[in-house]
């Protein structure tokens, strides 16, 4: 099997995989009636070569693209409103997200509210979604292997008025296409490759440990673990390795599919740390993961053997699995505590209270009250592993 052979998947949405597949986005736009797409990326990506390449591909098909890049590393509601204003003023008829998770989160939020007067937080995951139809068509092109957000509708947006990171979505809003092109992630800095890769690793572990019968998501999670474990170190140490980049993109995508089942306390804490301290999401997940694994141990030991097999371990117990996860984090130079990310003890209660209300906390395999979450955050600040 040649992992670099171009292939099209149809589940859970249309997905084009393989080197050079960015070239197919223009034809897809033509086929689906998109004539003036708004390209959405973050400020750090707007001058990178893949942006110019995408613009060239679209222009070659006679399309009228425009770039919007006023997007924070942790996108805010204000970013989404600014993007909507550009979309509406430019008479655009589709959105193309290209970049990491921040670009896709912002693009999803923009495509939810583009061309309508409905406020963004009407689409909050925690409330009944409004009657809405005719969303702006959305194409997702991840250039990092981590977020896995390219196949699903949810977008994580910081609500600066509440000081939280919230989830926006609508059940009828899904990407029309995802493109997994490993050429776009070649040369990504070592740190970002590691941090985003750890995001995907965390997705797969947390999703698989959710206490729900969901064989499809579980299968995706285990396959994601196998792909990530087999390629994350090579992708970090050999930035030009296309096979490792492709494996990481596929693993990240599958991990994203798996968390349709739910996530857990790592994400509940990480979301709020990101909202209050503007930390990089994958890096925050990586630091917090060992602390939450230890907390969840009594409820996940029956899930450990299959995850150990996916990692190719000889031992199938918690201690062996935990050591293997920590070894990955050590090899990737992940900090050993949140203090190294600038998180101090002064806001632990606030972080815990907000994490408790995060939807990811509800699907953690071991329920925790605010006091227990405070203890977890305190551990993670002082010594996560």
Is 184's pLDDT higher than 90? yes
Q: Domain map of the chain by residue range? A: 7-184, 189-383
Spatial distance between the Cα atoms of 215 and 296, rounded to a whole number of angstroms: 21
Q: Please enumerate, as own/partner, the contacts of 208-213 that have beta carbons within 8 Å and a separation of 24 or more.
A: 208/258, 208/303, 208/306, 208/307, 209/264, 209/296, 209/299, 209/300, 209/303, 209/365, 210/261, 210/262, 210/263, 210/264, 210/363, 210/364, 210/365, 211/299, 211/363, 211/365, 212/261, 212/262, 212/363
Span 247-290, pLDDT tens digits: 999 999 999 999 999 999 999 999 999 999 999 999 999 999 99
CB hemisphere CA count around 256 (13 angstroms): 27
Spatial distance between the Cα atoms of 287 and 339, rounded to a whole number of angstroms: 10
Q: Whole-model pTM?
A: 0.94
| pLDDT average, residue stretch 176-192 | 95
What's the Cα-to-Cα distance from 193 to each of 50, 199, 235, 321, rounded to whole Å? 17, 10, 7, 22
Residue 71 has a pLDDT of 96
| pLDDT average, residue stretch 194-214 | 97
Helix axes 281-300, 318-331, angle to 10 degrees: 170
19 is written with which tokens?
């080197």
Beta-carbon count within 10 A of 348 CB: 18
Span 7-58, pLDDT tens digits: 999 999 999 999 999 999 999 999 999 999 999 999 989 999 999 999 999 9
Spatial distance between the Cα atoms of 114 and 123, rounded to a whole number of angstroms: 13
236 is written with which tokens?
């970090």
CATH of 7-184, one of 3.20.20.80, 3.40.50.300, 3.40.50.1970, 3.30.70.580: 3.40.50.1970
141 is written with which tokens?
């092109």
Rounded to 5°, the CA angle 259-252-140 comes to 90
**Backbone CA torsion sign across 321, 325, 331, 333:** negative
Proportion of the chain above pLDDT 90, given as a percent:
95
Q: What is the 3-state secondary structure (H, E, C) of 118-150?
A: CCHHHHECCCCCCCCCCCCCEEEEECCCCCCHH
Q: What is the CATH topology of the domain spanning 189-383? A: Dehydroquinate synthase-like, alpha domain (1.20.1090)
Q: At 180, is the secondary structure helix, strand, or coil?
A: strand
Q: At 279, is the secondary structure helix, strand, or coil?
A: coil
Span 229-245, pLDDT tens digits: 999 999 999 999 999 99
Question: In the sheet where 94-99 sits, what is the strand order?
Answer: 7-9, 15-17, 177-180, 138-142, 94-99, 37-40, 66-68
Place of tokens 């550009």: 86
The confidence band for 126, taking pLDDT boundaries of 50, 70 and 90, is confident
- φ, ψ for residue 16 (rounded to 5)? -100, 120
Spatial distance between the Cα atoms of 381 and 385, rounded to a whole number of angstroms: 10
| pLDDT average, residue stretch 195-221 | 98
Is 320's pLDDT higher than 90? yes
Spatial distance between the Cα atoms of 350 and 371, rounded to a whole number of angstroms: 11
Is 66's pLDDT higher than 90? yes
For residue 45, give every residue at least 6 positions away whose Cβ sits within 8 Å of its Cβ, in sequence order, or none: 51, 69, 98, 99, 100, 103, 143
């Amino acid at each position: 099997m040649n992992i670099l052979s171009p292939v099209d998947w149809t589940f859970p949405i249309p997905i084009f995989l393989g080197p050079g597949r960015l070239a197919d986005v223009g034809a897809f736009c033509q086929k689906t009636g998109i004539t003036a797409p708004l390209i959405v990326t973050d400020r750090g990506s707007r001058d990178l070569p893949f942006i110019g390449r995408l613009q060239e591909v679209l222009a070659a098909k006679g399309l009228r693209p425009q770039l919007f890049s006023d997007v924070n590393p942790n996108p805010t509601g204000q970013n989404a409103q600014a993007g909507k204003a550009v979309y509406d003023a430019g008479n655009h008829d589709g959105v193309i997200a290209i970049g990491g998770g921040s670009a896709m989160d912002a693009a999803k939020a923009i495509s939810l509210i583009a061309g309508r007067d409905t406020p963004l937080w009407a689409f909050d995951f925690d409330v009944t979604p409004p009657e809405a139809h005719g969303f702006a068509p959305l194409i997702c092109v991840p250039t990092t292997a981590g977020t896995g957000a390219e196949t699903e509708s949810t977008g994580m947006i910081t609500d600066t008025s509440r000081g939280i990171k919230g989830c926006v979505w609508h059940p009828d809003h899904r990407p029309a296409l995802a493109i997994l092109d490993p050429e776009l992630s070649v040369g990504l800095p070592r740190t970002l490759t590691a941090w985003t890769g750890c995001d995907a690793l965390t997705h797969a572990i947390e999703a698989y440990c959710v206490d729900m019968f969901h064989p499809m998501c579980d299968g995706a999670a285990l396959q994601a673990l196998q792909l990530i474990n087999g390629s994350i170190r090579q992708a970090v140490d050999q930035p030009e390795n296309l096979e490792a980049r492709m494996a990481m993109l596929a693993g990240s995508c599958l991990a994203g599919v798996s968390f349709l089942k739910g996530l857990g306390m790592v994400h509940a804490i990480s979301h709020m740390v990101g909202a209050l301290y503007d930390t990089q999401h994958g890096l925050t997940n990586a630091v917090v993961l060992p602390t939450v694994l230890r907390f969840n141990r009594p409820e996940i030991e029956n899930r450990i053997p299959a995850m150990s097999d996916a990692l190719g371990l000889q031992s199938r117990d918690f201690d062996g699995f935990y050591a293997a996860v920590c070894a990955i984090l050590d090899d990737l130079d992940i900090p050993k505590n949140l203090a190294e990310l600038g998180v101090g003890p002064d806001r632990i209660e606030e972080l815990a209270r907000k994490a408790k209300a995060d939807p990811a906390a509800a699907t953690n395999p071991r329920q925790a009250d605010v006091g227990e979450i405070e203890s977890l955050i305190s551990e993670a600040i002082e010594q996560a592993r």
